[in-house]
Amino acid sequence: MELPRLIKIGERNIDEFGSFLYSLNKSKKVSLISGTNVQKILRKKIERSLNLKKIQYIWHTSKDNQIESLNQIQKNVKKDNSDLVIGIGGGRSVDSAKMISYNLGKPFVSLPTAASHDGMASPFVSVKSDKPHSIVASAPLGVFVDIDIIRKAPQKLLASGCGDLIANIIAVRDWQLGHEKTGEYYGRYSADLALMSAKIVMENSGFYAKNGLDARVIVEALISAGVASCIAGSSRPCSGAEHLFSHALDKIAPGKGLHGEKCGIGSIMMAKLQGQDWKKIVQTLKDVGAPTSAKQIGLKPDEVVTALIIAQGLRPERYTILKEIEMTERKASNLAKTTKVI
């Protein structure tokens, strides 16, 4: 199994980024991938810390996660001849950097600026291509987090991160089901680790509702979930039927809702199918400020119904609760209505 070697979480520690990189692999030259907004806010601070350690750098701007743009950045990064690829951003840039570093055989570091999903420490990326679900790349060599930056990002991003964590409850149950029905390997340790990340949100949501989200705890839980995937060697502990639902929405209603928001809503419905306490999931999502209905993220009822019907077909080899149900239009509509998703 491949795990991150160094994970640094601090408060207002962005100045230490250069020394963090130096301690990782004595970096001399790095390729930085980020969006324009992030560059506006962080570029100077990051450059200052790299200059202090005499680390050379070349910036690359990520615009979207279409395969063509990714290939273009990859060509440019290859020319850099750098010894490290760094993804800085909320999700897309980190994913792009992860994929590019993997394709070029270079180590990768993530510097998340938002905690909206568990990709910051996981070896998986979601890139728009013919395969709608995540594909395997390398685990990051290092993860560097400045909690102050995460806290300043819009709250809905953190809430989305909570949705991605709650998804682990569904994913682990699906994994157990797959183990029982097909005999596939079930990794108790990684499953428990992923569940623990979800429980932290479930148990503290009442407190968060009164006092606000604890960015540090959520970041640690998301990193821990990513590490669980590293240990499992697959996304199994963090991705079940609720993720298939989210991937189906990516396909039929692109751009509506954040990944973690869609996984949270998917978790409500899949929990009902699995016979788990779906109402508790609804309450937790409400407590953390995450959406619980399709309308809140601009989805139409028929989009939800279609996503439920096509979800399992996107990844037929992965056994989930959706394998046990013949998801007709009527069943899908009933499920979404009884859980008040539509």
Positions in the binding site for Zn ion (CB under 5 A): 117, 164
Task: Dump the DSSP string for 30-58.
Answer: EEEEE-HHHHHHHHHHHHHHHHHTT-EEE
Q: Are 14 and 52 in contact (CB under 8 A)?
A: no
**Residue 5 CB, nearest approach to Zn ion (Å):** 23
**Residue 330 CB, nearest approach to Zn ion (Å):** 29
**Residue 34 CB, nearest approach to Zn ion (Å):** 21
Between 164 and 174, CB nearer to Zn ion: 164
Tokens of 29: 């030259």
Among candidates 143, 127, 118, which has minimal Cα distance to 92?
127
Neighbouring C-beta atoms of residue 36, cutoff 10 Å: 10
**Residue 164 CB, nearest approach to Zn ion (Å):** 4
Residue closest to Zn ion, measured at CB: 164
**Residue 314 CB, nearest approach to Zn ion (Å):** 14
Between 225 and 336, CB nearer to Zn ion: 225
Between 50 and 195, CB nearer to Zn ion: 195
Between 250 and 287, CB nearer to Zn ion: 250
Among candidates 309, 342, 338, 303, which has minimal Cα distance to 326?
309
Q: Are 116 and 90 in contact (CB under 8 A)?
A: yes
Tokens of 54: 């005499």
Secondary structure, 3-state, 106-159? CCEEEEECCCCCHHHCCCEECCECCCCCCEECCCCCEEEEEHHHHHHCCHHHHH
Between 146 and 164, CB nearer to Zn ion: 164
Between 117 and 315, CB nearer to Zn ion: 117
**Residue 239 CB, nearest approach to Zn ion (Å):** 6
